[in-house]
Structure 1
Amino acid sequence: MAGFRPIFFSKSIPIPRLNAVGYCCDRADGTRAVRKRSGYATMIFRQLFDSVSGTYSYLLASRRGGEALIIDPVLEKVERYLQLVNELDLRLVKAVDTHLHADHITGLGALRDRTHCVTVMGEQTKADVVSMRLADGDKLGIEGLALDVIYTPGHTDDSYSFVLPDRVFTGDTLLIRGTGRTDFQNGDPRQQYESIFGRLLKLPDETLIFPAHDYKGETVSTIGEEKAFNPRLQVKSVDEYVNIMNNLNLSNPKMMDVAVPANMRVGLHQDDIAARGWAVSAEQALALVGRPDVALIDLREQSERERHGVIPGAIHLPYARLQENIAAGGMLHELAKSTSKQLLFYCAFGERSAMAVQAAQDVGISSARHIQGGIDAWRKASGPLSH
């Protein structure tokens, strides 16, 4: 990443050891031995930069050859992400946006189409690409890693931050020597003040900050450093902060009129699946559940099942394991072949199950269907749930 300026830290602020480009890593290949307090022996971590939009994307995995997730991917950089995933022998299972971006087109849809990964955002999002919606207090997990989910509205009403024991990914909420603007997309400076002062600044001072954007070449900071030197955090009251944010008088992002509508409509539309005859409504599903010729498949993660309940009799098969199970010799492939059962997929809102139906049909499982609208529609139809 040529062109990055070095970062200088005050001696009074706890800081990590940095290499020449600002990564927190101890090895030449970028793999870092994480501090013992993090709970992880080693972690693969890459910070990737899009110079056009000033966007940082982050690739994380617990080990080579394992599962990976990416935070805030940019559409134009998808080929680079996939090249890196291949070079590190990783399997991309989740692509995450911290919020609905206004300055670039997200890479979530393209990564989903290329890798069949789960696309993730907060539950407040209006984006149709999202197949897993998170709430405050949830865990964002892959093999060997679990990030705490913090709702941090203010920049937008769907802004989230993701926390590991030694670092936090702050999206556009808390930047290096700045904070995200609050004058569009249902932004609210009072909410942002609470998100920053009431949530993020409560993290330990040595916590590393990795934002979604920087326009000056900065790559990383710490909570303690931002407390001391971020000019917008030196306010004495919420009213003072609100006054600053309401008087920035910034022009809109150059891509805003293109990026916002594009980022809201890049999903696999469930209506397309329904038009092919591969969907049933929640009301129709009520009559199918319990029949001996129907196998109900729950694609959600265990945390979602615990939070929202389970349709009685469903087989739990997380979406991340779908491909191996619909392939020849896989459990679902053999179930459909040997019993002629109809496979009825469902998830939280229908996005993952729509992708599962498409994938199953593509390998010849013609009996595959899904519950349109997922468990959300099932609940609205008064379908039974067990907890």
Structure 2
Amino acid sequence: MIFRQLFDSVSGTYSYLLASRHGGEALIIDPVLEKVDRYLKLMEELDLRLVKAVDTHLHADHITGLGALRDRTRCITVMGEQSQVDVVSMRIGEGDRLHVEGLSLDVLYTPGHTDDSYSFIMGDRIFTGDTLLIRGTGRTDFQNGDARQQYASLQRLMRLPEETLVFPAHDYKGDTVSTIGEEKRHNPRLQVRDAEAYAALMEGLHLPNPKMMDVAVPANMRQGLLQAEIARRGWAIGSTEAAALIGAHGVVLVDLREQAERAKHGVIPGSVHAPYADLQANLRPGGVLHDLATATGRALLFYCAFGERSAMAVQAAQDAGLLQTRHIAGGMGAWARAGLMVERPGCRAVAAQPASAGGA
């Protein structure tokens, strides 16, 4: 496995690059905007292809690299389903798994520092964001933080095997890694009797706001691809208009989501599955989507969760010369809000349920 812990000294942020092999797919956790060139250079040196960029929560002390990495690599951006970021490519929730080639991370919802905080378990290690730091914990006094919720999240983490390696999103003292056992015994904020004592401890800290907060939070909440530009070019249609095309001879609906998303949220009846991860191969001559469009003359109508992947797919298809391509603006989120039908394997068609606000 390839594992790199990368550090931004200005914000004290750790970012983590993960891949199973040289030449394979990669995932990065908590990237920093100013370090994007460094990440891309490292991935070039290691012969890696970035497919997912993940933030553990909405950061207040630096501007995320999610948007820049998406724009430069067409990777999938990922955040928790509670996040109020305008658009990311994939929303995850408690109990989900985050996959790239050869690697799988278990998703844990660990609120308290913020209401959209997540941790990720991969084998012998856990990436804790700002929930659990080395000999500390994330503050709980803004962004819908809640000390009692964080105490419950920390207690959950403390039930992991003591040898589990702890990799946080920040450190300001030079420490790089800890273990659950070390934190259980030596983290001063965990030496309290109950949630009320923890809340009293956190409420007494009276910490100043992060220096970058007024800039970082608004910037980090506006990460979405400008789907308005895709619409301006005439490459987008609304969900109700798309529903009228189901079964139409000249149109193929193409679902770009991963299989787990399809199982969780359902699919538009009559659509074919062509995961976004395989998009470039599918658009080349001999690829499934290229041949489907050119052999039959049918238009491709892409959709995903909330529109980001499908907007990028339309641009990629247009660049590949497949001009009869559009996408469903707002994706399955808009589809659900319109109360339109979805199918699930082995079940009859049902009305879609609205997903969490903001996503793609």
Q: Does 1:73 align with 2:19?
A: no
Structure-2 separation of matches of 1:328 and 1:268: 27
Structure-1 separation of matches of 2:124 and 2:147: 27
1:1-387 equivalent positions in 2, closer than 5 A? 43-197=1-155, 199-387=156-344
Structure-1 separation of matches of 2:308 and 2:148: 33
- 1:129–1:80 Cα change, 3 Å: farther
Structure-1 separation of matches of 2:57 and 2:206: 22
**TM-score if structure 1 supplies the norm length?**
0.87
Cα deviation, 1:102-142, whole Å, max 9, x if unaligned, reads 11110111111111100000011111241100000000001
- SS of equivalent residue, structure 2 residue 77: strand
Cα deviation, 1:43-95, whole Å, max 9, x if unaligned, reads 11000000011000000011111111000000111111111111111111000
Structure-1 separation of matches of 2:16 and 2:279: 25
- SS of equivalent residue, structure 1 residue 313: coil
Q: Is the 8 A contact 1:109 1:129 kept in 2?
A: no
Structure-2 separation of matches of 1:327 and 1:77: 32
**Runs of 4+ with deviation above 6 angstroms:** none
1:276 is displaced (CA, Å) by: 1.6
Q: Is the 8 A contact 1:46 1:60 kept in 2?
A: yes
Structure-1 separation of matches of 2:334 and 2:317: 22
Stretches of structure 2 that go unaligned for 5 or more consecutive residues are 345-360
Hey, what does 1:19 align to over in structure 2?
Answer: none
**TM-score if structure 2 supplies the norm length?**
0.94
More displaced stretch, 320-329 vs 180-189: 320-329
Cα deviation, 1:132-177, whole Å, max 9, x if unaligned, reads 0000000000111110000011111110000012000000000000
- SS of equivalent residue, structure 1 residue 163: strand
More displaced stretch, 329-338 vs 227-236: 329-338
Structure-2 separation of matches of 1:330 and 1:372: 25
- SS of equivalent residue, structure 1 residue 56: strand
More displaced stretch, 208-217 vs 77-86: 77-86
Structure-2 separation of matches of 1:57 and 1:380: 35
Letter in 2 for 1:358: Q
- SS of equivalent residue, structure 2 residue 341: coil
- SS of equivalent residue, structure 1 residue 46: strand
Q: CA RMSD in A?
A: 1.0
Cα deviation, 1:280-328, whole Å, max 9, x if unaligned, reads 1111111011111111110000000111111122111111111111134
Letter in 2 for 1:334: D
Letter in 1 for 2:273: H
Q: Is the 8 A contact 1:209 1:222 kept in 2?
A: yes
Letter in 2 for 1:162: F
Letter in 2 for 1:234: Q
Q: Is the 8 A contact 2:26 2:52 kept in 1?
A: yes
1:269 is displaced (CA, Å) by: 2.1
1:362 is displaced (CA, Å) by: 2.1
Number of equivalenced pairs: 344
> Percent identity at matched positions?
72
Q: Is the 8 A contact 2:87 2:306 kept in 1?
A: no
Q: Is the 8 A contact 1:345 1:353 kept in 2?
A: yes
Q: Is the 8 A contact 2:50 2:73 kept in 1?
A: yes
More displaced stretch, 352-361 vs 218-227: 352-361
Q: Is the 8 A contact 2:88 2:223 kept in 1?
A: no
Structure-2 separation of matches of 1:153 and 1:210: 17
Hey, what does 2:347 align to over in structure 1?
Answer: none
Hey, what does 2:348 align to over in structure 1?
Answer: none
Letter in 2 for 1:165: G
Q: Is the 8 A contact 1:61 1:68 kept in 2?
A: yes
- SS of equivalent residue, structure 2 residue 58: coil
Hey, what does 2:355 align to over in structure 1?
Answer: none
Structure-2 separation of matches of 1:191 and 1:357: 41
- SS of equivalent residue, structure 1 residue 103: coil
